[in-house]
Structure formats: C-alpha cells, structure tokens
Amino acid sequence: MIELTRRNFVVSAATATAVFGLARPLAFLSPAHAQTASPSEPPRFARFNIGELEVTQLYDGIWQKPHDPQFIRNASVEDTKKALREANLTDAHVPITFTITVIRMGDRTIMFDAGTGGQLAPTAGLLMKESMQAAGIDPKSINVIVMTHFHPDHIFGLMAKDTNEQIFPDAELVVPAKEYKYWAETSISSLPEARQGLAKRVQATFPKWKNVRQIEDDQEVVSGIRSVATNGHTPGHTSYIISSGSNQLMVLGDVSNLPALFVRNPGWHAAFDQDPEMAEKSRRETFDRVVADKITITGYHYGMPGIGTIEKDGNSYVFKPLSA
C-alpha cells in the first residue's frame, strides 16, 4: 500500500554535512485508490508482507547532497554523476533518502532505527511523525526500537533536540554491544575530533536511560529477528534478519548507501564509512548471502519503497526494487 506525499523535502546541506562528519511482493494500493503525485515526490509510506508479518516503511525526508570530491574516496564526481544518470536519477546532486522500517509481530510493533528527529533540518522529524500518522501507526504503540548503529540520522529521533528527553520512553531500545561500547563507553578525548561531538551526546543520553538492552552478534533480538554483524560503516554496525516461515527480510541499515552508487559499485568507499575496507568486505559478504539465500532486503537510504532483491552482475550487484 502506498500513499503519496504532496510535498518534497530537502535537508540543509550545511547542517547535514556538519552532523554526518563522520519474497513476497509488495501489497500496494491499486492505482484507482492511490493519491497521485509527480514522479519526483516519494510515497509517504509503503506497506507490504513478509510471510505473516506486516512491514511498513516510513519516509523521513531526502538530503539533496551537493557533489563533493571527498564523498567517495576512490571515485570522482563525474563517476558519481554517471552512475546516477545510469540509474535514471538526477545528477544535479546525490539524492539520499531516510526511511524507517516498522514491523508488526503479533502484539508487538518493532521499529528499526528512529529517524533524524528533525535535527538535520527543521522539517525532517515532522515528516517522520506525519508518515506514521498516514500509516496509522501510533508512536505509543512502538514496543521495541532496534538500532543498526549510532549515526545521527538513525538515533536523533530517540531524543529531543534541546533537552535530550526520550521520545520513546516506553519502548525497549535494543543496541549492538560493539556499537554501544565505542560511542558510550570510550573516553571522548581518545576519539578523533570529528566524532567527539556525537560521542558526547550519546554519553549524555544512552547510559542514563533504563530501557536500553545490548545485544551481541548473531543473537535473537525477539523471536523471529536475529542480529547480523556488518561492521565497517561504524565499529558495531549491525543488520537484522527477520523470518516468517520460509520468508526472510534483511534490514541492512547502512551496509550500503544509495544503491545506484554503492550496490552497483560495491568497491566504492563512502566518506561515511569509518573503516572503508571492512565496510566493503561486509557489503560484499552480505550481498552474496542475500543473493544465495534469495532474501528480500531493505536499506535505510534505498528510497521509497526501498524494498527489493539483490542480483549478482559480474563483480558488481544490481538492486531490483519490487513493484506491484
């Protein structure tokens, strides 16, 4: 099911740059019942099924990232523009979307990552709230929030901008233990300067919250959801396999950023990847796994709806979005 927004959203490049330093088909609304919009406007939410599970993706905006020769360490701006054009995307900027995945499992409503919290641009968090409302999801119904990693566009939706007050105080927060240790327990002075600001905020919040549960690699989060170590983007970056019968969905987080760039070119090293060689290794191993096991995947920056499959293409891969 899809409902289309009437508005587009652009993240402030200056704000975002500072903060980031660092197999079942979709169940869509029929065209007769879908709200119309221009092709450039993304759906506000998308809903589909994995086995018996109801899965909803929520839109939290798009960062129209200006081209930067430092964005991809081993590719030029012209290489980037060419890859975007080949994917039928604009090459005027890099269109990086933010999407949150929510799963209903029996009486539990489980959310993966928490969005930007309106702290990358004034309207980003409002889009998340409006998307939840459009999808019929009450924020108070969220029982568990599972984090892939601690970058700002994934965790700032957990905390109020000025007070750090919890936005979801009644939800259990499940976090990768390696990621928690790096950001919440490492001496701030020992971290690179570019990461100290984020570490300070993490250390001012997570250790004080009583609803945080740490998990290890290959651990069951709740019945039907298991953690998968995909380190490299950050020290403890973690993806999740969700199973329902013989059906599987893998929530990738930031195993790769935009598919047109980093699925098609898995050897490209994004500036956001803390350990680019390890990130590439995790990316290739993960993609090989989902190809071999025919696992449906969703990525945080894969667009709306960012659900589909990965196919091997020589030493590269292709993302095949599902459609109605």
pLDDT in tens, 49-83: 888 999 999 999 888 889 999 999 999 999 999 99
The whole-model pTM stands at 0.87
What residue type is 302 in one-letter code? Y
Tens of pLDDT, residues 163-214: 999 999 999 999 999 999 999 999 999 999 999 999 999 999 999 999 999 9
Mean pLDDT across 232-243: 97
- What residue spans define the domains of the chain? 2-251
CATH 3.60.15.10 correct for 2-251? yes
* Phi, psi values for residue 254, rounded to 5°: -110, 40
Chain mean pLDDT for the chain: 86
Tens of pLDDT, residues 120-177: 755 456 688 889 999 999 999 999 999 999 999 999 999 998 899 999 999 999 999 9
The more confidently predicted of residues 22 and 102 is 102
* Per-residue model confidence (pLDDT) at position 122: 52
CB 196 within 8 A of CB 245: no
Cα 313 to Cα 80, 133, 287, 310, distances in angstroms:
19, 39, 11, 10
* Per-residue model confidence (pLDDT) at position 295: 96
Q: Cβ-count burial of 36 within 10 angstroms (0-12 exposed, 13-18 middle, 19+ buried)?
A: exposed
Tens of pLDDT, residues 293-316: 999 999 999 988 888 999 999 989
CB 218 within 8 A of CB 227: yes
Give the torsion sign (CA, 309, 307, 211, 166): positive
Q: Identify the weakest region by mean pLDDT among 39-48, 211-220, 233-242.
A: 39-48
Q: Identify the weakest region by mean pLDDT among 246-250, 262-266, 319-323.
A: 319-323
Tokens of 197: 């600001």
* Per-residue model confidence (pLDDT) at position 62: 86
* Per-residue model confidence (pLDDT) at position 43: 82
* Per-residue model confidence (pLDDT) at position 124: 52
274 pLDDT band (50/70/90 cuts)? Answer: very high
Mean pLDDT across 269-287: 97
Q: What is the percent of the chain with per-residue pLDDT over 90, rounded to a whole number?
A: 73
**Model confidence at 9: pLDDT above 60:** no
